[in-house]
Amino acid sequence: MTDDLTLAARLDTLTPKQREVVILVAEGLTSKEIGRKLGITESAVNQRIEVVRQRLGGISRAAIARIYRQTNTLMITIPTSNSLTGKPIQLQAIAATEQPLPAEGVGGFAASDDEANGELQPSTFPPSFHGPDARLVRFAAIVVIALGLLGIGVLTIVASHTMGLVLAPAGR
């Protein structure tokens, strides 16, 4: 619960655009549905979700939805129960009222096949690969990797020639 509260606090640091995606995720919409609703592409939705996941420590999409719902519950419940009863608030009681989540996510939260296969996995990319200049960064990464591979290949060839070990030519 403490961890969830920490993560819930991090939700406040999200931008308005990220927040509106999180709200729709918490409502159980798929990326396609969110994209249609916000007038953006599914890929853009996934990128925003990815950034949110990064900010929250790489947690799953279902966990984001759960934490957002918890945060909402806290925001509504705390002032009401406090004003009515004046008793200290029992955060664990709130947690106990939550419905347990199925392993694959929240009910109606069924991710598409594509997402189930890949998008919900922890990202191996640093945040800059998901930011506004993501395409540029990724293209630069491809170029750098290509140059690196080319360099390795050339070095291998030079080394093999130097050592007199010429690799067998291809069949063509």
Partner 1 sequence: MTLQSATLLLALLVALLSLFPIAGWTERICAAAMLLPLALGLNDLEPVSASLGFEPSLLLRATMELACLLGLLHAAFASDRWFPLVMSAAALIGVVARALAFSGLGGAQLPLLQMSALPLLVMAIALGGGIATQAVARSLSNASA
What is the smallest separation between the CB atom of 5 and partner 1, expressed in angstroms? Answer: 20
What is the smallest separation between the CB atom of 96 and partner 1, expressed in angstroms? Answer: 20
Applying CB under 8 A, the residues found at the interface with partner 1 are 43, 46, 50, 103, 113-114, 117-119, 121-125, 129-130, 134-135, 138, 141-143, 145-146, 148-150, 153-154, 157, 161, 167-172
What is the smallest separation between the CB atom of 166 and partner 1, expressed in angstroms? Answer: 8
Q: Using the minimum distance from each CB to partner 1, give the nearer residue, 88 or 164.
A: 164
Q: Using the minimum distance from each CB to partner 1, give the nearer residue, 77 or 123.
A: 123
What is the smallest separation between the CB atom of 81 and partner 1, expressed in angstroms? Answer: 32
Q: Using the minimum distance from each CB to partner 1, give the nearer residue, 66 or 130.
A: 130
Q: Using the minimum distance from each CB to partner 1, give the nearer residue, 74 or 137.
A: 137
- What 3 state SS string does the chain have? CHHHHHHHHHHCCCCHHHHHHHHHHHCCCCHHHHHHHHCCCHHHHHHHHHHHHHHCCCCCHHHHHHHHHHHHHHHHHHHHHHHHHCCCCCHHHHHHHCCCCCCCCCCCCCCCHHHHHHHCCCCCCCHHHCCCCHHHHHHHHHHHHHHHHHHHHHHHHHHHHHCCCCCCCCCC
